[in-house]
Structure 1
Amino acid sequence: MVQLPYVFLLGAIALEVLGTSLLKATEGFTRVLPTVVCLVAYAGAFAALAWAVKHDLPVGVAYAMWSGLGTAAIVAIGIVFLNEPISFQKIVGVLLVIGGVSVLNLGGAR
């Protein structure tokens, strides 16, 4: 059974990924609609992350998952949708981030 703090954490990750994905579209925060959606997504991401931590999710684990999974998702979005180059170093870096998050979770950090 999935615990509710993890649902909020996944929501925080999704909102952070949305906000970060929109950064290029804001054109330096000069375009109103993408800027508003970006800022609302970031605010929602922090609120959901705070809720997850408040409800018994250790902050170190929550932040590691939030930043690690968000980073992996943004790299994938950049490659697939924003025509960013893929490299061996980029792949290894993402795998190391995911590995680090996994070690934190498997190591009983909860």
Structure 2
Amino acid sequence: MMWWALAGAIGSEVLATLALRASDGFRRKAWLLPVATGYVLSFYLLWLTLSLGMPVGIAYGVWTACGVALVAVVARVLFRDPLTWRMGLGIALIMAGVLTIELGAVAR
């Protein structure tokens, strides 16, 4: 259950961030509600994940790493934002770091 809550937190945060980009600096007012709703839902689901017993280092690490990676890839597709090989390397390093933290927590 906690992994489903975390997945929901990641998804809603990614959607909110993409809506923030689509709002064009809040000049397009129609995107304000999806931004606010997405972030509130994301923090609620992150709180739920933590209350279900996931360690904060794991939850936050996975949440941020997946958020960074997904936003970068989807923004490339939707908004034609840059996604260079260096950015891809950075995403891979972030994910490797989170995996290392998670494996370290399991090894206790």
Establish whether TM, by shorter chain, passes 0.5: yes
- The Cα of 1:102 is off from its aligned counterpart by 1.0
Question: Structure 1: any 5+ residue segments left out of the alignment?
Answer: none
- The Cα of 1:33 is off from its aligned counterpart by 2.2
Q: Identity across aligned pairs (percent)? A: 31
- The Cα of 1:28 is off from its aligned counterpart by 1.9
Question: Structure 2: any 5+ residue segments left out of the alignment?
Answer: none
For 2:32, the equivalent position in structure 1 comes to 35
SS at match of 1:56: coil
Aligned pairs (5 A) from 1:16-31: 16-31=13-28
> Which segment is superposed worse, 28-37 or 90-99?
28-37
For 2:97, the equivalent position in structure 1 comes to 100
For 1:83, the equivalent position in structure 2 comes to 80
Alpha-carbon distance in structure 2 between the residues aligned to 1:27 and 1:80:
17
- The Cα of 1:27 is off from its aligned counterpart by 2.2
For 2:42, the equivalent position in structure 1 comes to 45
Q: For the Cα contact (< 8 Å) 2:6–2:49, is it kept in 1?
A: yes
Q: Deviations over 1:35-56 (max 9, x none)?
A: 1111100000000000100110
Alpha-carbon distance in structure 2 between the residues aligned to 1:103 and 1:46:
24
TM (norm. structure 2) is 0.92
- The Cα of 1:99 is off from its aligned counterpart by 0.6
Alpha-carbon distance in structure 1 between the residues aligned to 2:104 and 2:34:
37
- The Cα of 1:10 is off from its aligned counterpart by 0.4
TM (norm. structure 1) is 0.90
